[in-house]
Structure 1
Amino acid sequence: MTKHEFEVAMTCEGCSGAITRILNKLGDEVKFEIDLPKRLVWIESEKEMDILMETLKKSGLEVKYNGTK
């Protein structure tokens, strides 16, 4: 599985909670980690990066793709 890194403009636990709820809707084949202090989200998935990006943007937060890790 490919591991993608995204920078997300999270400022609080509420933001990271919103990201968690959104990503959980993608199903069991998506694994993710959130680093709130660094404002980073790592997603392991076979889904296309564009789909992951659009999903994260549903949070209403600014999202930037940093590449694969």
Structure 2
Amino acid sequence: MTKHEFEVAMTCEGCSGAVTRILNKVEGVKFEIDLPKKLVWIESDKDVNFLKETLEKCGKEVKYNGTK
């Protein structure tokens, strides 16, 4: 599985909670959230555009930083 890094404009626990709820609905995805650095790492074989669009559902600005 590929590990992707996304920068998400999260400012509080509520924001990271929204990201968690959205990603928990996606099958076959493992993820980590670093709220202070505003980073989300997602391990998945899914398409990067699909992952980015999924993260954008939380209403925050999302930037793809590449694979790690």
Moved over 3 A (4+): none
Separation (CA, whole Å) in 1 of partners of 2:4 and 2:38 = 14
For residue 5 of structure 1, give the secondary structure of its aligned residue in structure 2. Answer: strand
> Gapped runs of 5+ residues in structure 1?
none
CA deviations on 1:10-59 (whole Å, 9 max, x unpaired) are: 000000000000000002x1000000000000000000000000000000
Alignment TM-score, normalising by the size of structure 2? 0.99
Residue in 1 that maps onto 2:58 = 59
Q: What is the aligned-residue identity percentage?
A: 79
Name the count of aligned residue pairs.
68
- 1:1-69 correspondence runs (5 A): 1-27=1-27, 29-69=28-68
Gaps of 5+ in 2: none
